[in-house]
Structure 1
C-alpha cells in the first residue's frame, strides 16, 4: 500500500524540532513541494525537481532557495553612542518584520564601542534587494543620523561546492 501526500514540515511539526529520523531532504524554504511516500513500516521523503524550468540564481541544484547573509558595517558618532542602541533597535524592528528576513544579529566591537556590525540573513538575493529598495525609498530610517561615516554592505552566499 503506497500513498502520496504533500508534506509541509512547519504544518506537521510547527516550530518544534522534528523527530529523529524525520529530516527534510532540502531546506524549509523551497520553490518546489516535498512529497512523502508512506508504506506500512517506513516513510521516505523525496524532492520534486522540474528540470525543464531554468534554475534561478537564488535556487540551488535541488530547487532550494540559497540564503544570503549581509554584513552591514557601521560606525556611530561618539556623541550619539548613548542613543545608538535605541535607534538601531527601532530600525531593526522593520527589518526583522520585512518579508524574507530570517533574522538580524548585532555585533559590537570589543575594542571600539562605536563600531557595530549588523548580520542580516535573507531567504534569497531577491528578498534582500527588495529590502534595500524599500530602505532607499519609503522605508528610510533614522539610522543615518547617528552614523559617523558611510556604512559598508557586503553580501555572502553559502559555498555549496567547497
Structure 2
C-alpha cells in the first residue's frame, strides 16, 4: 500500500535564506531513493520558516528502508544545520473509507 509521509521542519530564521539550498540537496537523495513516487515542499503562509515536506512512497517498507539509510553516516544530511527545532514525521498508510452509506433508521 502507498505511504504518505509528512516531514515538518522549522527553519531557524537566521538561516531562512539557506533553507531552499539545504532542502534541495537533502530532497534530491530522497527523490532518487527506490520507491519514492513524489515529493513536495510546502511553505506555511503564516510562517515562512515552517515547511511541510510531503513524500509519496510505493510502500511503507520503501520509506522505512530510506529512513534507516538516513540514520547512517552515509545518509546523514546537512539539513540539521539550518533547523530551529528537531523535525517531526508522520507516516500514513491506512485509509479510512469515506463511501459509507447513512444508517437506515
Find out whether 1:157 has 2:93 as its counterpart: yes
Q: Which residue of 2 aligns with 1:146?
A: 82
- TM-score where L is the length of structure 2: 0.88
Superposed, 1:40-51 pairs within 5 Å as: none
**1:105 aligned to which of 37, 40, 57:** 40
Equivalenced residue count is 97
**2:51 aligned to which of 99, 106, 116:** 116
- TM-score where L is the length of structure 1: 0.58
Greater fraction of residues in helix: 2
Unaligned residue ranges in structure 2 (runs of 5+): 99-105
Find out whether 1:131 has 2:66 as its counterpart: yes
CA RMSD of aligned residues (A): 1.1
**2:23 aligned to which of 85, 88, 97:** 88
Distance 2:43 2:94 in 1: 24
Unaligned residue ranges in structure 1 (runs of 5+): 1-65
Moved over 2 A (4+): none
